């Protein structure tokens, strides 16, 4: 039988499938999922693809969980179409799926809990316009070809920034790639032709749509001695980025609420298993963090959550 895994243990087993496992962001989701698991007394299995951009692998992981017969799955799909098949299979096997983080073009899932990524990009753009007083030259470093959530942020940013007539986007077609090092190197290469003879940058603002590009760009700015001299809005938090914000090298970043995303994802799937009615779309919120609001107590859980409490 397909449900033997859960039947023998008597306890519900919820598989949480992230896009990757090593970014800060996913650890927060993991912590949120574990938190929900402890509260509701279910077993949480955490398993993502080995390579962080590998759709094929994520499909395999889903298949393995369906074979194993877990009670429910919380999935952050790497692709809005490619994961349709596994989700449909899960449904056929009687396993409910809750989608988090990125959308899936399918009707087979129970609920979708995520950040409004387009809004996140839009908020970044608005902050940059505000900081630059509506005029200047800006660049944006993209993340990866075809990533749905970051593409939405990039779109949100570009469409909003286009509404400010005084601002020109000088470069927006370069990709930082999968790792910090690749983003770093690409940042250096993008900045090089935008440097004048005196070594100063000929641009005024920068937007980067995720953690690795933000950190890579920050390192490139620090290296070139530009950090703090240029308006820089990033996305996602990590200790180094918080430090940069406090020291003025980063002017603002947009954060999601990954912990609540993980928490809500697990909770929703359990509610569904218990026969309760759940909403089809749940917004987990985006917040702009600036030097002014960073010390507010409610920000602490967003940017420096105490993950170790939940992860071992």
Alpha-carbon Rg for the chain in angstroms: 20
Short-list 111, 8, 107, 17, CA closest to 64: 17
Packing angle, helices 55-68 and 84-92, rounded to 10: 10
67 touches other proteins (CB under 8 A): yes
The position carrying tokens 């033997």 is 4
Short-list 88, 69, 87, 90, CA closest to 13: 69
223 touches other proteins (CB under 8 A): yes
Query: Which residue stretch of 4-12, 244-252, 269-277, 286-294 sits at the interface with other proteins (rule: CB under 8 A)?
Result: 4-12
Per CB under 8 A, contacts with other proteins among 103-122 are: none
Region of 78 on the Ramachandran plot (φ > 0 left; ψ -120 to 50 alpha; else beta):
alpha
Q: Which of 174, 272, 283, 288: binder of other proteins (CB under 8 A)? A: 174
Query: Which residue stretch of 34-42, 60-68, 265-273, 281-289 sits at the interface with other proteins (rule: CB under 8 A)?
Result: 60-68
Query: Which residue stretch of 168-176, 257-265, 283-291, 294-302 sits at the interface with other proteins (rule: CB under 8 A)?
Result: 168-176
- The two three-digit tokens of residue 202, written as one number: 């000929």
* Beta carbon nearer to other proteins, 215 or 263: 215
H/E segment holding residue 100: strand 97-100
127 touches other proteins (CB under 8 A): no
Question: Do 262 and 101 form a contact (C-beta atoms < 8 A)?
Answer: no
Q: How far is the CB of 57 from other proteins (least distance, A)?
A: 8
Beta-carbon contacts of 308 under 8 Å, excluding residues fewer than 6 positions away, are none
Q: Which of 77, 156, 224, 258: binder of other proteins (CB under 8 A)? A: 224
The position carrying tokens 């090593």 is 22
Instruction: State how far the Cα of 133 lies from the Cα of 136, in Å rounded to an integer.
Output: 8
294 touches other proteins (CB under 8 A): no
Q: Which of 39, 162, 300, 311: binder of other proteins (CB under 8 A)? A: 311
181 touches other proteins (CB under 8 A): yes
* Beta carbon nearer to other proteins, 279 or 306: 306
Instruction: State how far the Cα of 86 lies from the Cα of 56, in Å rounded to an integer.
Output: 11
Residues near other proteins (CB under 8 A) are 2, 4-5, 8, 21-22, 24, 27, 45-48, 50-56, 59-61, 63-69, 79, 81-82, 84-85, 89, 92, 144-146, 171, 173-175, 178-181, 184-186, 188-190, 192-193, 195, 199, 219, 222-225, 238-240, 311
């Amino acid at each position: 039988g397909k449900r033997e895994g859960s039947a023998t243990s008597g306890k519900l087993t919820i598989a949480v499938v992230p896009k990757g496992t090593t970014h800060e962001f996913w650890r927060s989701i993991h912590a949120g999922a574990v938190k929900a698991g402890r509260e509701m007394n279910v077993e949480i299995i955490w398993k993502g693809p080995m390579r962080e951009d590998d759709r094929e692998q994520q499909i395999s992981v889903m298949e393995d969980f369906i074979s194993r017969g877990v009670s429910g799955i919380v999935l952050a799909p790497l692709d809005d179409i490619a994961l349709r098949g596994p989700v449909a299979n899960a449904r056929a096997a009687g396993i409910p799926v809750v989608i988090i983080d990125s959308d899936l073009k399918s009707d087979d899932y129970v609920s979708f809990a995520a950040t409004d990524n387009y809004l996140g990009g839009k908020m970044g753009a608005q902050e940059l316009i505000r900081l630059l007083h509506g005029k200047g030259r800006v660049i944006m470093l993209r993340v990866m070809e075809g990533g749905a959530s970051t593409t939405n942020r990039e779109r949100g940013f570009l469409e909003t920034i286009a509404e400010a007539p005084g601002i020109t986007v000088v470069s927006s077609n370069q990709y930082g790639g999968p790792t910090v090092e690749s983003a770093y190197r690409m940042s250096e290469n993008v900045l090089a032709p935008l440097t004048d003879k005196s070594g100063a940058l000929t641009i005024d603002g920068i937007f980067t749509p995720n953690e690795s590009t933000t950190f890579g760009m920050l390192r490139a700015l620090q290296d070139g001695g530009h950090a703090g001299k240029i308006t820089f809005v990033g996305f996602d938090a990590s200790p180094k980025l918080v430090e940069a914000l406090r020291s003025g090298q980063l002017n603002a970043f947009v954060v999601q609420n990954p912990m609540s995303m993980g928490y809500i994802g697990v909770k929703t799937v359990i509610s569904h298993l218990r026969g309760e009615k759940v909403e089809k779309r749940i917004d987990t919120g985006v917040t702009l963090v600036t030097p002014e609001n960073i010390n507010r107590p409610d920000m602490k859980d967003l940017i420096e959550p105490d993950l170790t409490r939940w992860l071992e």
